[in-house]
Amino acid sequence: MASPRIAIVGDANKSRSPELAKKAAEALGTELARRGCRILVFSSDPSFVEYDVVRGYLASKTKKEPGAIEVRYPPNLGELFPGEKPGDELFDRKPLGREWEVSFYPSLADVDGLLLIGGGYTTKIAGLIAIGARTPLLPLAGFGDAAEDILESLRSDRHSIATEKELNLMAQQTWTDSSATRCLDALLIQAHRRLALEKQAELLESERKRTQTLTTLAATGSVLFVAVLLAIAEAWHSDQLPRSFLLMLFGAPAVAGASGAAIRVVWDHWRQDAIPLACVPWA
């Protein structure tokens, strides 16, 4: 299974405490690397939180897979991050077109989580898209601005996969040495929760299709069974055929079917080595 891919969006300078927001972003970057997560960033501009997240990510001594840092950037924001070398295998750079919004917003649909810190209009739209897609979210609302607005929207979302405890954690305005660990726990637990919900939905859909198929087969079998009974009744009242012939005509297939069903039970038991033996009503 591929490691989780977390998108980072935000602007620390638009938060209540830019210095504290930058410190939190760097700590989260270190924790993301420690957890073996991949990250998706959009700018190397120091004013955006991606800059500090990547700095913390690179500072971690944890071994990182090639392309762990995916960079999608418009032409005017394509400078290298501090510590990044030209052609660095750790970075997977994918330049956007002149209309960067066309590539930016759709890229948020296939991530395993979204981290929001501060930010303005773009951050807010990204968060709303994530809520609609039920993407695991970590808006650090304690730093204010767009992340705070997204948390309010998340609280009012009836289909949110975040618990009340996780939402309260996102609203905290303090930042301690353990905050990064607890925040990442909340985000990754949401990712596991969404995966479980998706599997449950797949099972329910599979069961619905199975029930529909079995209903169709049952209806078809009932119609055919009634047709056979009508044929037997019609033939039994005919004087043109001897009774022994009718018994052989209708009895032999019935005995053959019962014997085949009995053999199938033995075969399934031998093939699966099932204990206890599930005796299908072959008669």
Whether 20 and 79 share a structural domain: yes
Q: How far apart are CA 120 and CA 12, in angstroms?
A: 10
Buried b vs exposed e over 8-17: b needs ≥16 C-beta within 10 Å? bbbbbbbbeb
Contact by Cβ (8 Å): 135, 159: no
pLDDT at 273: 57
| Verdict on whether the full-model pTM lies above 0.95 | no
Of the candidates 74, 8, 1, the one whose C-alpha atom is nearest the C-alpha of residue 40 is 8
Structural domains counted in the chain: 2
Average pLDDT over residues 47-69: 94
**Considering the domain boundaries, does residue 131 fall inside one?**
yes
Residue 184's SS3 state is helix
Residue 24, domain member (yes or no): yes
CA pair distance 110, 97, nearest whole angstrom: 19
**pLDDT single digits (tens) 124-160:** 999 999 999 999 999 999 999 999 999 999 999 988 8
pLDDT in tens, 88-110: 999 999 887 677 777 788 888 88
Judged by average pLDDT, the poorest of 14-28, 86-100, 149-163, 216-230 is: 216-230
Residue 40 confidence (pLDDT) above 70? yes
- Residues 159, 219: one domain? no
Which of these ranges, 139-143, 193-197, 247-251, has the smallest mean pLDDT? 247-251
Reported confidence tier of residue 274, pLDDT bands at 50, 70, 90? low
pLDDT at 280: 54
**H or E segment and range at residue 39:** strand 38-41
Which residues form the domain of 61? Answer: 5-199
Indicate which CATH number applies to the domain containing 147: 3.40.50.450
Biggest CA–CA distance in the chain, Å, is 102
Shared domain check, 222 and 166 = no
